[in-house]
Structure 1
Amino acid sequence: MDNRPPVDTPLIDKSGTHGGATAELLVRAVETLAELTSAEIAGSYRVLAEAEGPTPLEEAELRLGTGRNADPLLALGLAHVLPHDPPILKASTPVSAVEAALVHKQHELDAQYDIIARAQREVRRIRQLADRQMQDASSHRLAHVLTDSDDIAALSNTIGTAAVDEHLTLETFQYDLPLKASSAQPPTAASMTRGVRHRSIYERAFLSDPVGAEVLERCAAAGEVIRVLPQLPMKMKITDGSQALLALTPTGSSVALHLTSPVAVAALRHYFELLWREARPLTGAPPPSDSARERQRHEIVALMRQGLKDEAIARRLRLTPRTVRRRISEFMDELSAETRFAAGAEAQRRGWFDGSGDE
């Protein structure tokens, strides 16, 4: 059993001034070694340095204590083997032991510094690579030129179905093949049920062409709000102010630009609104009489001001939700209002509610 004192206990007191100085030197050396290596290695060194007699190498583990051996001391230069028979394990002097441990620690720190320096350089390279990839991906997301006619047709057919709030269209009378009634892309029932507002501007040439007129009739019957201009500069579709499909050729079938840049899409939407103000509504007799339609409109707006949702308004007026949404879209269009709140404010300004029985 090892009865030697642990590292933090005082050294065996030696008589005389020289013995006291030696003890103090060893204590300070052991404390420094504990900081440079470990408490266990410093303790092993202390046990070996305080040994009264020679320590045979083969008995080192027994002398140093259970679980300890001389390998760490020899590796760090804190002890060395004397070539006796049998070999003897001897502790280095306190000064030599501390210097050897310090050199080893410096090498260790230098190696760690090299690892850190290499890692820092690699981090910069990785960051630069990530930034380039992000820029490339961002550029791809913000603007992408489509040159495959099938891809353009697929996106043109589906861009409106994903709309949540609104879908805007500019449609020129330019086609690679003769226009067919089946070419019409009216709003879907699911889109109208969600309350999506579909607004389109068509060239006047549609009205003078039998098939073109049928296309407009089908789209208007499905709930699309249509206006007409003599000419349009291009074909374009905008969904929810978040993405746009812009034709780069007259027909748009061979080259198109898909934009998701918020800045570019906002600019195109602003351009659409400028054209919308200039365009004329598609003529056609409304289903109800003018007086009935006016009364119905006032009732819908009044209920909107009370905070009722479309379904609740439909139940109160015994209309379908689709009809309510169409009427709301119509008077928002008439008032050039972007939101329902703005429409209500403009209707109030115009005196729609004077004597209308609004509660």
Structure 2
Amino acid sequence: MRKGLTSVLSESAARLYEQLIVSGGLSLEDHPDLGTTAECRELIDKGFARERHVGTPKLIPVEPIRAIDNAILVRQRALLDQYQYLLRLRDEMQVLQQTYEASANPSADINELVRIVSEPAEVSALSVELALSAHSDVASLETEHSSRPRKPENARVLPAELVERGVRFRNIYSRAALELDGAGEMLQASIRSGWICRVYPDLPMKMVLVDKRAALVPLGPTGMEGALLVRAPVIVATLSRYFELLWAGAVPVDNESAKIPPEQDQVLRLVMTGMTDGAIARHLGVSERTVRRHVSALQEALNVNNRVTLAVAAVRQGWVD
């Protein structure tokens, strides 16, 4: 067995791939259990093999130059992400150090720096009040936990005076939040209102952060169980850096700059968040068959065989940020 393959494949999958190369493919009729083995799924998922159902169903190898090139691209992308993470971590350290050195007077009243807000109505009012006081940036996290149903009329409309002031409004949704009924329509209404929206696989909490000077952090899942109003510079700086790290790794969901048809662009961006075909179909209000057709068209256009390499190739092609 070639040692290079085992750096990207398990030993058993590497042996199966070499067997496919030598034989030109294995009949799924002669090997009925082959398609369900872990080795087979690994080869398909990583772009080293594919099932062919024209004529006799077979598991056939993807041309080595393409398969290994895709594996190299995936590894390069992972290394780049790790490097960028380390750079962001260093930047975070520098910001925190500066905040630490210029922190508020230790004798300041602690109630001015951190305050507990327990009434749901006050939490809602304070969230609006903070946003209205923004001078440059409003950043928020949105999870699947909510006290209100997802409806387009519940989308947060941006005040005209803030838009004219040039305040930027950014929101990160958890993937689960977009899979709820009505979430797709509410998301599109938010985007039309002026929000810049992205999706992250999983978020631990809601949050509202204004101008890197104040943050509203919930005490419970929905945010209506109470919240902390935080103005302590060190804590706000930490929450701000946390948001920026999430923002850098989140997937944009608007298609204003799409380089492919809007419906394919929407599917591609949701594929990159890790959503299944079923979840994407529910989110967009289409059939799973339609989603699979779009995914197949995207894979064919980029000359790839699976979702992993589809994401890498789409980034390399400049179809998504």
Report the TM-score, using the length of structure 2 for normalisation.
0.45
- Kindly indicate whether structure 1 or structure 2 has the higher relative contact order, using CA contacts under 8 Å at least 6 residues apart: 2
Of structures 1 and 2, the larger Rg is shown by: 1
Report the TM-score, using the length of structure 1 for normalisation.
0.41
